[in-house]
């Protein structure tokens, strides 16, 4: 589902600081509240030393890989964000429900993964709203984050997203796991680029994600050892 040209464009977007900021507190629970990206930590020792990241998975749910990833996240007591493709939700609704029930955030990644910068308003609305409807049927809430496929966004996309009550949520660390560069390469790319507030992009759907699954335990183990906390994104 990825196109190298888009990936290069994404790199430029991120370099230019166009990656949308990560979200504030979790749904209705102060216990899950994450610091705002870029926000100054509160003046307590406990908070000022805190480090956190946002782990995100795109293009699912996938019959083969989503459950494997959920099991690993559960084993490490880590909560993440899943940007799901509506037509996959329609096909595997129970997986979407499971992701939600385990405390992860389920967010909108369009209906059929088009480039939204090339969509007209009618198509844009269909892509977002139909996905919302299928997600809501499983999770009980309407997602506030929209991650445009390929990270392809511009002012029109951001404005249209806002008109539908959405914030654009991109990422800041991209190991290109979808291109299957090798498990150790995925691990190294994440661990060398991550810092507090990073939004890490990985994939549970859209193709063979066995390397992503294999890389995940080492990534989680190492980030935990470095003192990172993991928060889901809500875009509230």
Q: Which residues bind Zn ion (CB under 5 A)?
A: 58-59, 149
* Alpha-carbon distances of 11 from 22, 105, 170, rounded to whole Å: 17, 25, 11
Per annotation, catalytic residue among 59, 109, 203, 204: 203
Q: Which is nearer to Zn ion, 2 or 26 (CB)?
A: 2
Task: Answer yes or no: 58 catalytic.
Answer: yes
Beta carbons of 206 and 59 less than 8 angstroms apart = yes
Closest-by-Cβ residue to Zn ion is 58
For the bound state, the minimum distance from the C-beta of residue 59 to Zn ion, rounded and expressed in Å, comes to 4
Q: Which is nearer to Zn ion, 35 or 149 (CB)?
A: 149
- In angstroms, the CA 23 to CA 235 distance is 4
Find residue 201's DSSP bridge partners. Answer: 56
For the bound state, the minimum distance from the C-beta of residue 205 to Zn ion, rounded and expressed in Å, comes to 8
Q: Is the peptide bond before 70 cis (omega within 30 degrees of 0)?
A: no
Q: Which is nearer to Zn ion, 149 or 232 (CB)?
A: 149
Task: Map tokens 């496929």 to a residue.
Answer: 149
Q: Taking the C-alpha atoms of 182, 188, 193 and 196 in order, what is their torsion angle to the nearest 10 degrees?
A: 110
Per annotation, catalytic residue among 58, 59, 132, 204: 58
For the bound state, the minimum distance from the C-beta of residue 51 to Zn ion, rounded and expressed in Å, comes to 27
Task: Answer yes or no: 203 catalytic.
Answer: yes
Lookup: tokens for 133: 């409807």
Task: Map tokens 């984050």 to a residue.
Answer: 145
Secondary structure string (H, E, C) spanning 144-206:
CEECCHHHCCCHHHHHHHHHCCCEECCCCECCCHHHCCCHHHHHHHHHHHCCCCCEEEEECCC
For the bound state, the minimum distance from the C-beta of residue 161 to Zn ion, rounded and expressed in Å, comes to 15
Q: Which is nearer to Zn ion, 59 or 204 (CB)?
A: 59
Beta carbons of 149 and 7 less than 8 angstroms apart = no
Q: Which is nearer to Zn ion, 26 or 149 (CB)?
A: 149
For the bound state, the minimum distance from the C-beta of residue 209 to Zn ion, rounded and expressed in Å, comes to 12
Q: Which residues are catalytic?
A: 58, 203
């Amino acid at each position: 589902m990825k196109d190298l040209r888009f990936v290069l464009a994404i790199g430029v977007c991120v370099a230019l600081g166009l990656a949308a900021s990560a979200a504030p507190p979790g749904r209705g629970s102060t216990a899950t509240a994450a610091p705002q990206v870029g926000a100054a930590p509160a003046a307590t020792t406990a908070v000022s030393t805190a480090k956190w990241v946002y782990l995100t998975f795109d293009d699912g749910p996938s019959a083969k890989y989503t459950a494997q990833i959920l099991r690993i996240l559960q084993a490490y007591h880590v909560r993440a964000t899943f940007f799901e493709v509506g037509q996959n939700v329609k096909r595997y609704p129970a997986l979407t429900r499971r992701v939600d029930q385990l405390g992860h955030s389920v967010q909108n990644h369009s209906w059929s993964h088009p480039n939204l910068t090339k969509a007209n308003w009618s198509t844009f609305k269909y892509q977002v709203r139909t996905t919302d409807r299928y997600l809501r049927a499983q999770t009980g809430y309407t997602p506030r984050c929209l991650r445009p496929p390929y990270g392809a966004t511009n002012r029109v996309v951001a404005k249209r997203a806002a008109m539908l009550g959405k914030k654009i949520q991109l990422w800041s660390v991209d190991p290109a796991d979808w291109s299957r560069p090798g498990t150790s390469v995925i691990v190294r790319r994440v661990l060398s680029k991550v810092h507090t507030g990073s939004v890490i992009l990985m994939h549970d759907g859209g193709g063979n994600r066995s390397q992503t699954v294999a890389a995940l335990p080492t990534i989680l183990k190492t980030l935990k050892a470095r003192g990172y906390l993991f928060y889901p994104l809500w875009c509230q």
